[in-house]
Amino acid sequence: MTSKDSVIVDQPFVAQDQLGSHRPLWRITLTKFWQNRLAVIGLVLLSIIIISALLAPWIAPHDPNWQNLRMRLQPPSAEFWLGTDHLGRDIFSRLLFAGRVSLFVGFSAMLGAITIGTTLGAIAGYYGGRVDAFIMRTVDVVISFPSIFLLITLVAIFQPSIDKLILSFALLSWTGTARLVRGEFLTLKQREYVLAARTLGMSNMSIIFRQILPNAMGPIIVAATLAVGGFILAESALSFLGLGVQPPTASWGNMLTNAQSLNVFRNAWWYPTFPGLMIFITVLSFNFVGDGLRDALDPKVLER
């Protein structure tokens, strides 16, 4: 066909071609994100936390589960950077390993919840009618579960474990994403490019997942980011109550469990402080990054 170029068009539209020199969308998004100071701080903190959690076996100065009862509740020192707990374990090492567990739970539960929510929300919004009604009533039912009590009951019946924790988080919290994605699809499916895709013979599934979904990714990414923080918080809460991650495996939440006694509070401030601080910083960072992404991906928020 190359030889026929000149047959179809008498002269190429060279002058007009030069118009195409705007910046691509992702670059605009990146620039806007970069200008948001809190979001960048959040991203830097998160990167440090995630990388050190990943590298825990190599950077931890002590075995996180090694008990030394003679070294109980030692204050921070050159040997134990952040002190020791009531069993003489190094808090810094435990924090690193606990980070792996907490972040793993947060990310896995987020992936599960976002996948379920996105798929069901997309199908509900795209097809509408009875399919929509059925899925959205299911959402209503799931939302009306008192989730914290349900989690406690589930854990009471089955042995608490990390994978069950992730599964129950995912199964109970996909509803928000489903509503969000459904709403996006309700408007996006009216766009002319969807009709154009249909006239090209695309199937419903490829229209949903390859044409419309990429357009809905912005809000989904924001929701996903905020969800990780939420799941880490939920995991901490359950573990604190002894219903989540079980000792001796460390998680930021269950490290706090043993730090409750008055004795610890009065004499070993470092024991509750550092796990609490980790939860606080991590969740806050996820929220900063999420908000930053929301602003960056929203075309209505102009560049400054």
Partner 1 sequence: MLEPKQYRPLLSVNNLRTSFFRKGVELPVVDDVSFEVSSGETLAIVGESGSGKSVTSLSVMRLIPSPGGRIMGGEVLFDGMDLTMLPEKRMYDVRGNEIAMIFQDPMSSLNPVLTIGEQIAESLRLHKGLSKGKAMHKAIEILRTVGFARAAEIVNEYPHQLSGGMRQRVMIAMAMSCNPKLLIADEPTTALDVTVQAQILDLMQNLKKEFNSAIILITHDLGVVAELADKVIVMYAGKVVEQASVRELFNNPQHPYTRGLMQSVPKLDQDEDRLFSIGGNVPTPDNFPKGCRFCTRCPQVMPKCHQQQPELIKVGDNHLSRCFLHEAADV
Chain residues in the site for partner 1 (CB under 8 A): 1-2, 4-5, 7-14, 16-17, 19-22, 24-25, 128-129, 191-193, 195-203, 206, 210-211, 214-215, 217
Among residues 11 and 159, whose Cβ is nearest to partner 1? Answer: 11
Look-up of token digits 């896995």: 108
Shortest reach from residue 226's CB to partner 1, in Å? 22
Q: Give dist(CA 110, CA 169) in Å, integer.
A: 8
Shortest reach from residue 244's CB to partner 1, in Å? 38
Among residues 14 and 157, whose Cβ is nearest to partner 1? Answer: 14
Among residues 14 and 262, whose Cβ is nearest to partner 1? Answer: 14
Instruction: Tokens for 165, please give them.
Output: 């924790």
Instruction: Tokens for 288, please give them.
Output: 């900063």
Long-range contacts, 295-299 (Cβ 8 Å, 24+): 295/32, 295/33, 295/36, 295/39, 296/29, 296/30, 296/32, 296/33, 296/36, 296/39, 297/29, 297/218, 297/219, 297/221, 297/222, 298/218
Q: Give dist(CA 141, CA 155) in Å, integer.
A: 21
Shortest reach from residue 176's CB to partner 1, in Å? 23
Shortest reach from residue 198's CB to partner 1, in Å? 6
Shortest reach from residue 212's CB to partner 1, in Å? 9
Beta-bridge partners for 90: 84
Among residues 90 and 184, whose Cβ is nearest to partner 1? Answer: 184
Q: Give dist(CA 121, CA 211) in Å, integer.
A: 15
Among residues 13 and 149, whose Cβ is nearest to partner 1? Answer: 13
